[in-house]
Amino acid sequence: MQFPVTPKSFAIFFAMALVASSPNLSFAGSEDTNRFGANILFTGLTYHPGGGEHDDYPRKLDAAAYWVLQLGAETDLDWYLHKYVILRGSTALIKDCADVWSGFFHVGPHLNLPIGSRFVFRVGIGPTLVWRQNWYGVVNGYHGDSFYGKDTTSTFQTKFLWYGGNLDFEWKVRNNMSLIYSNIPGWPHVITSSLGARYSF
């Protein structure tokens, strides 16, 4: 969920998104008739690019835990600042690969890029708080990892990212209803995929 950018470059990106949302600027195409969108997504297949850091994952699908199954849901609420810029708030609740509760809270600008009349591609970035129940005492041999660090006392482990984000791809099946594929490209730790539906209003 981390990208190779700094808080300064994130601030520049956010400022550009706000400028682009100004109603005084002219873009090709008409404004969206819908001002809001809501997604409900179900999390499933997850990939560890380097394999799992621990062997004892209850939901692993291969011996090295490259592929694991996470079960949960994510909700997003989008506000169209402009046809090409939305402001998104997201939250998720997931049973992770160690079968403990985890999730995140995210807010930030997303580029909204229509592809013809039926498809939309989005890419977003923004402050994100990631959390999970502590793996200590749950995963055999766990004493910390490269993402959350070493924490053997707290009930919950957390990490704040200035620049967490995701990609999603929308297929409009009718006027206000769409199917959504979402991907959190959290290289090099985890890449998570979700499927769901979107309602625009």
Q: What is the pLDDT of residues 179-195, one digit of tens each?
A: 999 999 988 889 999 99
* The pLDDT of residue 96: 92
pLDDT of 24-43, one tens digit each?
443 333 444 689 999 999 99
The pLDDT assigned to 14 comes to 52
Sign of CA dihedral 129, 133, 135, 139: negative
Domain boundaries, the chain: 7-20+33-200
Q: Which residue has the tokens 């560890």?
A: 48
What's the predicted TM-score (pTM) here? 0.80
* pLDDT value at 4 more than 50: no
Instruction: Give, for 10, the enclosing helix (H) or strand (E).
Output: helix 7-20
pLDDT score for 145: 85
Contact 65, 102 (CB under 8 A): no
* Backbone phi, psi, residue 19, to 5°: -65, -40
Residue 1 has a pLDDT of 42
pLDDT tens for residues 126-146?
999 999 999 998 888 888 888
Residue 18 has pLDDT above 80, yes or no: no
pLDDT at 58 over 90: no
The helix (H) or strand (E) run that includes residue 65 is none
pLDDT by residue (tens digit) across 64-123? 999 999 999 999 999 999 999 999 999 999 999 889 999 999 999 999 999 999 999 999
pLDDT tens, position by position, 147-179? 898 888 899 999 999 999 999 999 999 989 999
In sequence order, what are the beta bridge partners of 179?
Answer: 171, 197
CATH 3.40.50.2300 holds for 7-20+33-200: no
- CB of 176 within 8 A of CB of 170? no
On the CB side of 184, CA atoms within 13 Å amount to 28
- Separation CA 201–CA 14 (nearest Å): 24
**pLDDT (0 to 100) of residue 13:** 53
CB 183 within 8 A of CB 166: yes
Identify which of 21, 88, 100 has the alpha carbon closest to the alpha carbon of residue 58. 100
What's the alpha-carbon Rg for the chain, to the nearest Å?
18
The pLDDT assigned to 137 comes to: 87
